[in-house]
Amino acid sequence: MRFENRKLCFMLYFLFIFSLSACSLKYQRETVSEETVPQISFEELVLTQYSDDKKTLRLEGTVYEQYKKSGFVYAKDASFVIFDSDQKETASATAKYISADTRNKIYEFFDGITFLDNNQGTQIAGNTLKWNTSTEQLVSAKNQELTIKKDNLEITGKDFSASAISNTFLFSGPVHGQQILTGANAGDKILFSGDSMQGSMASSKNSSKKNYTILSGNATVKTSTMEIQADTIELSGEDFNHIKATGNIKGTNTESELSFTAQEMEYNQDTKIVILTGDVELKDEKNNVTAKAQSIEYDQNTDVAVMQIDVELTQKQNVCKAAYSIYRKKEQTLELSGNAIVRQKDDMFRAQSITFNMETEEIQMDGNIRGTVTSN
């Protein structure tokens, strides 16, 4: 997921205007004092700022107040628009209430918050947000949901925070979202969720920094052909076309009708190739085939699986073992090499390489052939 620092610049700019005018709005105070009576108060305010005879900002609010002693500023039913040098609207926002601690440079937004950055195509919606100018941190309130939309990406989660200094963001509470794909997979969706989510906000102009998005805890990702569950899942690349999962992976390839478990996984949506490592188990339920290995690379386009290290494949009463094997799902053939072994009931065949047809149960062997055949 990518953010631009400019996304926060809009907020910084607006807050800067507030700090200059030092205004605020207070409610439900019982005592009348310098602290409770505003120094300045406006109703139905429309404020337009100009620079070199050009509009730079328009601010509207039903109530607008300033308090002298605390330096606090409050506004009600606030909306504002920022203009560029061509007088185009670059950013806009609305909020029911705005509180500004101008001395500590802390600003809070409440109820019905909407923010739109036209340049970056980013929308933020929620009910509470706090911006600390000194630390350049933006946070939501505890257990409050926030929704971010950018281009074809939408994320909704709780306990949001972001840093303009480190260019990172975090949803420390439950999160879910979707990415609508473009290009060759136009119209397809990636659905994702997790107990938390973190990522970078590096500018697309800064190609030296890698953008990343990581789901942690009960992480799930669903594409048009793949369903994945894992401890952590990292999404990266254009349209999240690259998926990397780690820890207790369970998945299903709905197109190839395969299920799998592993400890690590990488999947490229463009090439349709998945690489599984660490105690891998691949099941072809349709053909009653179960394969185990330390590494399996599966090509979804050709339905071919390349298996390495401690390979064991079972099908009906056949058990096949080797150091290296190629399983061709469409042809239902298995190529074994490296101390290859095939057991058929009580019969056993050994060779340097074996080709096994799982439909006809025919065997072709080559190199150092040995075996045992038991007559019925």
Number of domains making up the chain: 2
Interatomic CA distance for residues 351 and 185, integer angstroms:
44
pLDDT score, position 26: 46
pLDDT score, position 147: 93
pLDDT score, position 327: 97
Q: C-alpha 9: how far from its chain's center?
A: 24
pLDDT digits (tens, 9 = 90+) for 343-362: 988 889 999 999 999 999 89
Q: What is the DSSP string of 46-103?
A: EEEEEETTEEEEEEEEEEEEE-TTT-EEEEEEEEEEEE-TTS-EEEEEEEEEEEEETT
What H or E segment, with its residue span, contains residue 18?
helix 6-21
pLDDT digits (tens, 9 = 90+) for 125-165: 999 888 887 887 888 888 989 999 888 889 999 999 988 78
Retrieve residue 23's tokens: 């205004």
Residue with tokens 């599966």: 298
Q: Let me know if residue 308 belongs to a domain.
A: yes
Q: Let me know if residue 24 belongs to a domain.
A: yes
Return the CATH number at 308: 2.60.450.10
Low-confidence ranges of the chain (pLDDT < 50): 1-33, 204-207
Question: Is 269 strand, coil or helix?
Answer: coil
pLDDT score, position 93: 81
Q: Let me know if residue 92 belongs to a domain.
A: yes
pLDDT score, position 375: 55
pLDDT score, position 315: 93
pLDDT score, position 251: 96
Nearest to residue 300, comparing CAs of 277, 333, 332, 270? Answer: 270
Return the CATH number at 82: 2.60.450
Q: Let me know if residue 237 belongs to a domain.
A: no
pLDDT score, position 207: 45
**355 lies in which domain range?**
255-376
pLDDT score, position 12: 41
Question: CA 181 → CA 189, 240, 283, distances in Å?
Answer: 6, 8, 29
